Structures are given as C-alpha cells and as structure tokens.
C-alpha cells in the first residue's frame, strides 16, 4: 500500500474542489472528498447539489468511484469545503461509508485541521453493533 499521509490527501481534495453553477437548478463542486483505500489508491468526488434534493455528497461520489474500481475498504478520508478547509462527513455519509465494509469504522477521518478521528468515533451508537 502506498503511504499517503493526511497532508497529501488534503491537497488532493483541495485540488478537486471546483464550485460551479451548471444551471439555475444545479451547483457542483462546492465540497470535494478524497478516499485512500487499503490498496493505496485514492478516489475523489465532488458534491452535486440540485434544487429538488436529488444530488449527493462528495463522499458518495468518491465512494462510487471506489466501488466502481472494485474496492471497498477505506483507510483515510478527507472532505473539504469551497475554501479548502477540512469538514466532517454528514450523518448520511458516515452511515453510508460504514456499511460498505465491516472494517470501515476503523477508517481515519480528518474532521478539521489537525483533528483526525475514526469513522466509528463519528458513529458512537452504531445500530449494526
């Protein structure tokens, strides 16, 4: 596995952010996420925000790329906002990512500069346990 630290992963996510209005109803790229997998690959994604709530989060987009590449085990994750600041995944993303692999609860998540917790710590009362 490639050794990628959080600073590198954070920089990848920052380079992925690109806020853009596609139409009167859709904005994209205001949040970007980067996922490091067990095999050392990095997958990125951006959010798609629609007027009728049919969009999805950057973490979902990155996870979809990961699953498409036939991977599921997350080692590290970071998401950033427009300004490039790390932000924690929303509750929906936390649950979604935790269900993709039984060991994803051990994934390290940067929730703000210098603060790294596990996905399990973000889901202290996990219904699956």
Rounded Cα distance, 119 and 109, in Å: 6
DSSP 80-126: E-TTS-EEPPPHHHHHHHHHH-TTGGG-EEEEETTEEEEHHHH-TT-
The residue annotated as part of the active site, out of 59, 71, 83, 120, is 59
Identify the three-state secondary structure at position 46.
Answer: strand
- Whether 102 is a known active-site residue: answer no
Rounded Cα distance, 84 and 18, in Å: 10
Q: Which residues are catalytic?
A: 59
């Amino acid at each position: 596995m490639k050794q990628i630290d959080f600073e590198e992963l954070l920089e990848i996510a920052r380079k992925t952010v690109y806020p853009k209005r596609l139409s009167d109803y859709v904005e994209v790229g205001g949040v970007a996420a980067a996922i490091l997998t067990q095999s050392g690959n990095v997958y990125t994604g951006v959010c798609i925000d629609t007027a009728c709530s049919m969009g999805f989060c950057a973490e979902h987009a990155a996870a979809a790329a990961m699953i498409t590449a036939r991977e599921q085990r997350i080692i590290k994750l970071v998401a950033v906002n427009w300004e490039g600041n790390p932000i924690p995944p929303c509750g929906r993303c936390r649950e979604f990512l935790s269900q993709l692999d039984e060991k994803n609860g051990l994934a390290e998540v940067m929730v703000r500069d210098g603060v790294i917790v596990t996905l399990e710590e973000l889901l202290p009362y996990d219904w699956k346990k």
